[in-house]
Amino acid sequence: MTKRTLIKHLAALDDGAVAVSGWVDTVRDQKKVQFVVLRDESGAVQLVHPRSEEADEVATAISALAQGSFVTVTGELKHDERVKLGGIEVKIETLDVVGAADPETPIAADSGVDKRMDWRFLDLRRPEANLIFRIQTTLEHAWRSYWVENDFIELHTPKLMASASESKAELFEVEYFDGKAYLAQSPQFFKQMAQPAGFGKIFEVGPAFRADPSFTSRHATEFTSVDAEISWIDSHEDVMRMHEELLVAGFRAVKDKHGAEIEAAFGVEVTVPSTPFPRIPLAEAKRIVAERGYEVPRHDDDMDPEGERQIAAYVKEAFDHEFVFLTDYASSIRPFYHMRHADDAGLTNSYDLIFNGVEISTGAQREHRVDVLIENAKSKGLDPEELDFYLDFFRYGAPSHGGFGMGLSRVLMLLLHLSNIRETTYLFRGPTRLLP
């Protein structure tokens, strides 16, 4: 039996016998000749079958094909520049229907995103969706290569926790034998634990959970978090430097491997960012935004979404850059484990990273002095006794350290200039979605 060939490899072959397998994209069932566009995970090819006046099993099978049916075809590959689809076609000799599809499909090209999410396995057959997850694979591989080449250790931290790492308001509580557990909203405590363990530099790519009843286009209740933590830093500047190097490595790999495909599918030219990324203290960023005619609401000390868009627009105009680090956030809105400024306890050694107008990451230098951690926790209304297991990490010596957490799907969404995180999440989870 002829070995299956991926469609993307057909063009490099000489004319002759081939076997291809995939799903039916379209059928043109004409009187004298039949055409089938077959698609697999690598591309699409035109199949052709001239009708015979005699009994013709292949013609009968083609006439009965429904869009989406999975088939295996053997036949003769022919290069013909007149064929619009890649300049090649396969003349069918045999056609085996491996998995027939129902003739009525539940979604169409113009179906809305929620309808498409109901039938995500069908929606993912779109070439653009396939490309998104090949880009994701390249991006993660490049990041992992950067970490490994720089002597980071990969960890897989538990997702069941006895207590909160940040705020119980955003935790999913689950039954755990005779007690309660919580789904981890980040690997924060455990990646910090690796620092007094002497690991030095660590990373993790894994699931995180936030019980945030948000219905925006950029939030999810379960997401893939990209985290890194490093020892022996002088300030959050060391974390930012590592963070930007990581992103440059990832974007360069994506541009090199998929740049032309991305431009064809999404109309987006991938830009490998220059370093260093612009850095703007939050207070200065708010002044810049105000000068542009937008006042950030003063109900807290954070930057709101419109403020993020405005400062990103400014950075694009002033620096021709898609990224900006907003630094020096107020301690009132940062977790207790963010280190405060040595000369101003009202500010922290922390940052948010804005990409194309949306926050994708929070990073900081961590507080490693246990007495300071206890006081910081109390100031946040937390009970230090509930944090004992975490505070123990710092009672037996710990280096200065810091790190970040970043949302994978959000990075992909903004890289491709898409408007909804559902498009860049394999199976989205939100307040009203647990299926499929």
Known binding-site residue numbers: 166, 210, 359, 362, 366, 407-410
Contact status, residue 254 vs residue 138, Cβ threshold 8 Å: yes
**Among 361, 335, 351, which residue's Cα sits nearest to residue 414?**
361
The annotated binding site for L-aspartate is made up of 166, 210, 362, 366
Residues 6+ apart with CB under 8 A from 271: 251, 255, 322
Strand partners, 404: 228, 363
Pairing mode of beta strands 153-154, 201-209: parallel
Helix, coil or strand: residue 3: coil
Amino acid at 137: T
Distance between CA atoms of 153 and 202, rounded to whole angstroms? 5
> What does each C-alpha distance from 88 to 29, 40, 77, 80 come to in angstroms?
19, 15, 7, 5
Contact status, residue 403 vs residue 366, Cβ threshold 8 Å: yes
Q: Which residue has the tokens 């950075």?
A: 315
The annotated binding site for ATP is made up of 359, 407-410
Contact status, residue 228 vs residue 152, Cβ threshold 8 Å: yes
Tokens of 268: 């987006």
Tokens of 253: 């790999």
DSSP secondary structure of 220-256: -SEEEEEEEEEES-SSHHHHHHHHHHHHHHHHHHHHH
